[in-house]
Structure 1
Amino acid sequence: MKNLFLLFNVIFAFNISAKTLIISDIDDTLKQTYVVGNKLGGLRVTNQYAGLSKVYNALACYDLDQETYEFCIQNQGMMHSRDVQLNYVTGAPGKLRLLGREFLQESGFPVGVVRGRESTRESTHDFKLRTIKKLLKLLPEYDYIVMIGDNGEHDPKVYHEIEKLFPNKKVHSFIHMVYNTGIFEKDRGVNPYEGQKVYLTSADLALSLYELGLVNEGVVLEASKTVSKYALSRDEDIYEKVLPEWTRCKAFFKHYKTPAVAMSVQTTNAFNLAMNTVRSLCQRIKD
């Protein structure tokens, strides 16, 4: 298959008989690309947002016994379950598309099918909408749709349109809020649509996935510790693994609502520390 990178499947924890299709963008969603700016991050292959590859691997390997789970997360989704499929749908054309595929492998993200734009004659919006529509029509047995993108350009609108086109599907959309949305912003992003959940770091994405039963509590704990470790640093090369220099936080905190889920005191404290540390970092160097 032309765009085949790799493939994984997972079982949706809250409905073991459900089939779930996970669709993820790459640039500015997983990879620090700076799509609305100079896009230079697109040329790198090891510039993930801190902790995201571990969250994704946990998503791929969730419904397994402990021994198989450990093997799975250490091997990019090998020995995965079989009821969820992952597709990376990227609007990056040409060489950038190939670098996106290399990024996933080099940064340790779980295996999946990479579907990239073949020509710049087709807009990113039209390509993503067409590709995702085709996937849902080809895979009608997948009732649960999880889409993960960013607010740099088209993902919120595309995901909203998909939800309207497939009203019988249960759609969960997550938007990485890496840009502010004010009319006077130099690098202006777009707002999420109603019902779309936002994330800024691997910790708050992990918590939202935990709320849905897609990862276990330990993933939230590990992601929270990772975010705190990097965000507490005074070394910009380290803290920018959480918030690169062009990221802005106001739009995220405007739209974010912490999921009300039961967790241990240890995990709750670790998550709160991570979010407080990120907020302080935003105030110190960003906003």
Structure 2
Amino acid sequence: MKLLVILTILLSTSVQSKTLVISDVDDTLKRTNVLGYMLGGLRSTNPFIGLPALFNNFLCDAETTLEAKKFCIKFRGLNHSKERSLVYVTAATGRLQLFGREFISRSNFPQVPFIGKEIGQDTLEYKVDTLKEIISGGEYDEIILIGDNGEHDVAAYKAVTDAFPKRKISTFIHLVYNPYHKDDEKAGVALAKGQIPYFTASDLSVEFFARKLISESQLNSISREVFKYISSNDSYDYEQVMPDWSSCRPFISNYKRPEVKLSENTKYVLEAVERQLIRVCR
């Protein structure tokens, strides 16, 4: 009996796997409008609602005690578990990069490494080389790449995934632009094979939950926040999910929630978000 108890304890403490998340900033976490006038790039408190909570929950959920989790979340990743890693990689340069750093701080995202491009570097080459270097620098059981379909993330993440065929890499792309827009300058990039689209923090949180990277209660809380804002009659609140320059119809037309076991309460919340998305997108 003692041996069984010891084995159970050992197994329970070894199930955590090392997970690395690498995330873009503009149009991925921040409402920037890179394909438009980039006015959002000058702001520092304009996240897509729910994403700061998701990132903090991811980084802190591997803590072994509730007190440690609360401390980690309160101080945005301070003393987080070695099983979780998060890095921001942005192609912004100059003042826009400074605004990006301030955005991470003032929008309550985790305070972790922020890597920016130098002026004159080719964006695609910079992203591919930087991500390869980061991934090669550690032993990870799972790597998650998060970006958007505005400019180079789709191609960069595909190149990185192809470069590491034996690594477990998942790519999530914020499908914030319409790949079929009649104006080529405003058209987003179509996703590469295997890349997974998301539009709200709720959609992305389901994917994290399916990978056991956040708890169901955290998923429920984030989705409730998204529903509150996307259902608001206040345009300022509404735009924190659905900016007027974004296009959600390509996402909702093909969205299929991953099959995961959920409580009836969480199902109800997710279905409410999805119904509202269908209503406003179509």
What root-mean-square deviation, in Å, do the aligned CA atoms of Structure 1 and Structure 2 show? 1.7
Paired residues for 1:234-273 under 5 Å: 234-273=233-272
Alpha-carbon separation, structure 1, partners of 2:208 and 2:14: 14
Q: Higher mean Cα deviation, 208-217 or 184-193?
A: 184-193
Amino acid aligned to 1:198 = P
Identity of aligned residues (%): 39
The offset of 1:184, in angstroms, is 1.2
**CA apart distance, 1:14:** 11
Task: Indicate if the aligned counterparts of 1:220 and 1:271 stay in contact, CA closer than 8 A.
Answer: no
Equivalent in the alignment of 1:274: 273
Q: Give the Cα–Cα distance (whole angstroms) in 2 for the partners of residues 162 and 14 of structure 1.
A: 31
Residues 37-69 of structure 1: CA distance to partner in whole angstroms, max 9, x if unpaired?
111100000000011100110000111222211
For 1:77, the equivalent position in structure 2 comes to: 77
Between the aligned partners of 1:259 and 1:37, the Cα distance in structure 2 is: 32
Match status 1:42 vs 2:41? yes
AA of the residue aligned to 1:238? D
Alignment partner, residue 8 of structure 2? none
- What's the counterpart of residue 229 of structure 1? 228
1:202 is aligned with what amino acid?
A
Amino acid across the alignment from 1:177? L
| Secondary structure in structure 2 of the residue aligned to 1:224 | helix
Matching of residues 103-252 of structure 1 within 5 Å: 103-119=103-119, 121-139=120-138, 141-185=139-183, 187-252=186-251
2:147, 2:174 within 8 Å by CA — same for their partners in 1?
yes
Q: For residue 150 of structure 1, what is the amino acid of its counterpart?
A: D
Q: Which residue of 2 aligns with 1:10?
A: none
**Structure 1 unmatched ranges of 5 or more:** 1-12
- The amino acid across from 2:146 in the alignment is I
Gaps of 5+ in 2: 1-11
Following superposition, the deviation at residue 183 of structure 1 comes to: 4.9
Question: Which residue identity is paired with 1:95?
Answer: R
Cα displacement (A) at 1:280: 1.5
- Cα distance in 2 for residues equivalent to 1:149 and 1:117: 16
AA aligned opposite 2:31:
Q
Note if contact 1:22-1:85 (Cα within 8 Å) is conserved in structure 2.
Answer: yes
Q: Could you give the per-residue CA deviations for residues 246-270 of structure 1, whole angstroms, max 9, x where no partner exists? A: 0101221234221111111011101
**Which letter maps to 2:147?**
G
1:14·1:212 contact (CA, 8 Å) conserved in 2?
no
Q: In structure 1, what is the equivalent of residue 91 of structure 2?
A: 91
Structure 1 residue 156 displacement after superposition: 1.2
Instruction: Report the Cα offset of residue 17 of structure 1.
Output: 5.3
| TM-score with structure 1 setting the length | 0.90
Q: Which AA in structure 2 matches 1:216?
A: S
Matched with 1:9 is none
Q: 1:282/1:183 Cα in 2 relative to 1: closer, same or farther (>3 Å)? A: closer
Query: TM-score scaled by structure 2?
Result: 0.91
Equivalent position amino acid for 2:173 in 1: I
SS of 2:91's partner is strand
Matched, 1:28 2:32: no
